[in-house]
Structure 1
Amino acid sequence: MSIKETSTDLRVRRTLQMIQDALISLMDEQGFDRTTVRDITARAMINRATFYLHYEDKYDLLEKTVDGMLDELRMTMELPTSFSAEQFNMNEATPPASFVRQFEHLAANAKFYKVMLGPHGAPGFSGRMEQVIEDALFQRQTLAQPHEQHLSLPRELIIRYATSAHIGVMKHWLENNMPYTPNYMATQLKRLHLLGPTHLSLQSK
């Protein structure tokens, strides 16, 4: 790729980022329904022709913005196919790299997630995010223990419980303006997965 092509690609990516940032900012202030393409282009400081070069309308913009972010979240949660229970490492103080990546991703895109999970977010976003997490935890659990008969309770119950806890911790962290580091959160989330809330609450300090 030539220097000119690289420069053009960078400009396009910056433009797309400005448009998406403008959308999220406006959704936070006034909701999606009240936001117009004119509002978005004014906030992003671009002309309407530039907007329509990349998106059909504001609905296309929202869809592509959400799809792109959830794809990024999905990638942070990916595991190697060689993953096993032993690789999870039962040491509570050592968080899985994928858990750390998830919280780093949330921190880097906190504005987006706060808006989307709040009252002005896109309808159905929370459910889609939850599905991404559930799919990733299902992969982790089945790679660690592929044989259903060796589980002490149905896999579907394990995954449902783990998913609710996982996304609940993420939302709480975001809602409270991320008071702890991604590494700390990843460590505590691992402890919750390994030990459960009741065991942790009964442990002596």
Structure 2
Amino acid sequence: MTQKAENLRVRRTRILLREALIALIEERSFDNLTVGELTERAMVSRAAFYRHYQDKYDLVEQIFDEAMNTLFHAIGEFGREHPTDVWVRFFEQIARYDRLYRALLGKKGSPWFAQKMRARLAELIQQHGSLEEAPEAADSKHAAQMAHPFPDTFVPDLVAAMLVEAITWWLEQGQAYTPGKMATRIAVLASAVFREAGTWS
């Protein structure tokens, strides 16, 4: 088998498993589905599944990692000079797999996934600060506050929880706003929290 044919086969397997995952979550809930049901629905062998994933959690994590990698790439590309663009990329990636995220974050989803998502987003905020637009040099005190990590996890955890709730609402409403509008509103709300937290002694 050529490398190209092998790559196509792998892509096809991943797509089939993701589609089966979504359908089974909608029918049975994430916690109740098994790898056997996934492979049977996707019409792929268990061996093929385990060549790519350790278990159903690993399957979901790899999909979410794609969204997080997109976010980290956007941070590197845009940085704090264009924070809204960073979040636009993230919401576009969520929209790409909207049915999956809607299933995972909905009533038949998994508290495990929601917690995983909050933890990863909180880690991102903790590492990169607020992603708020870099303040003017004259405001050196504010600049210093935003340049350093938060003293504890309270604010990152709070904003991460807000983000997950916002994503859940957005998907449940059928993406009532564009990724750009959601990103702008989230950036404004989060920036208000970060600025207030920056005044705390």
Bin of the TM-score, shorter chain as denominator length: 0.7 to 0.9
Partner of 2:177: 180
Partner of 1:139: 127
Q: Deviations over 1:145-195 (max 9, x none)?
A: 7855998x9564432332232222111101211111111111111121234
Q: With structure 2 as the length reference, what TM-score do the two structures score? A: 0.73
Partner of 1:54: 49
Q: Deviations over 1:73-112 (max 9, x none)?
A: 221221239945xx14xxxxxx622201111111111111
Instruction: Answer whether contact 1:70 1:132 (CA < 8 A) is retained.
Output: no
Partner of 2:11: 13
Taking the aligned partners of 2:4 and 2:63, their CA distance within structure 1 comes to 23
Give the letter for the 1:52 counterpart.
A
Cα shift at 1:52: 1.9
Instruction: Answer whether contact 1:73 1:105 (CA < 8 A) is retained.
Output: yes
Percent pairwise identity: 28
Partner of 1:103: 91
Cα shift at 1:124: 1.2
Taking the aligned partners of 1:149 and 1:7, their CA distance within structure 2 comes to 49
Q: With structure 1 as the length reference, what TM-score do the two structures score? A: 0.72
Taking the aligned partners of 1:19 and 1:149, their CA distance within structure 2 comes to 42
Partner of 2:68: 74
Taking the aligned partners of 2:127 and 2:180, their CA distance within structure 1 comes to 22
How many residue pairs match? The answer is: 181
Partner of 2:164: 167
Q: Deviations over 1:51-87 (max 9, x none)?
A: 323328xx94412212202211221221239945xx1
Bigger radius of gyration among the two: 1
Partner of 2:38: 40
In 2 relative to 1, CA 61–141 (structure 1 residues): closer, same or farther, beyond 3 Å? same
Q: Are 1:122 and 2:122 counterparts?
A: no
Q: Which runs of 5+ in 1 are unaligned?
A: 89-94, 197-205
Taking the aligned partners of 1:16 and 1:149, their CA distance within structure 2 comes to 40
